Amino acid sequence: MRNTRRRTAILISGRGSNMASLIAAAKHPEYPAEIALVLSNRPEAAGLDYAREHHIATAAVDHKIYAGRENFEAVLQRMLEMHRIDLICLAGFMRLLTGSFTQRWQGRMLNIHPALLPSYKGLHTHERALADGVKIHGCTVHYVVPEMDSGPIIAQAAVPVLDTDDAGSLGVRVLEQEHIIYPRALGLVADERVKIENNRVVGACTHVEHTPLVVPGFDEEEDG
């Protein structure tokens, strides 16, 4: 483990439930990342209040007052530099970032996506998975690259798709797994236990435990 904790910023646009899981993990002294800043593009984001309650520095950079993405990101970058940020975690941050910004943070910016990438990039992932009739769905933590939802994969978790599922019930189970694997993935990156080779992440992420899949109505003792 590193001797110093990596100063991490969480970028949000709303309530930030994944933000809360990262904050909880970072409360442990041995965790290799420190949540040093929660930043939102929406000043009214509920997640900012949550961060303040947990004595974490917050900032709002309202994207609506800037002429374009480049101007918005220039202020974003200054805020990150001001707080001496090493790593960024996107947690429901609903703004597309330019290629120049993502390249500046290459290998240091993570995102969580509610699907098993490379399947179902973009929005409405649960609805699309149900419409396609898949039997396995899940979530992915990946490095951010200029192409949306396409960076090297750090960790994934899978859940079964039940016959009774709708987008809401499926989304709840996926979110539970997001809250497990995002802190684990950040810990691996902050502790420098993973590295990128070509488009693959190799290292300790291969040992991340995933919740076993349980097929309803199936009894292992009846399996011959």
Which positions are catalytic? 113
| Contact status, residue 179 vs residue 157, Cβ threshold 8 Å | no
CA distance 113 to 153: 10
SS3 23: helix
What is the β-pairing status of strands 136-143 and 109-113? antiparallel
Secondary structure percentages of the chain, helix, strand, coil, to 5: 35, 25, 40
Contact (Cβ atoms closer than 8 angstroms) between residue 17 and residue 46: no
Query: How would you class 105 by CB atoms within 10 Å of its CB: exposed for 0-12, middle for 13-18, buried for 19 or more?
Result: middle
User: Residue 195 and residue 188: Cα distance in Å, rounded?
Assistant: 10
Q: Is the dihedral of CA 201, 20, 7, 97 positive or negative?
A: positive
Tokens 């989304």 found at: 171
Tokens of 62: 């309202």
Distance CA 119, CA 137 (A): 9
Residue whose tokens read 């192409």? 147
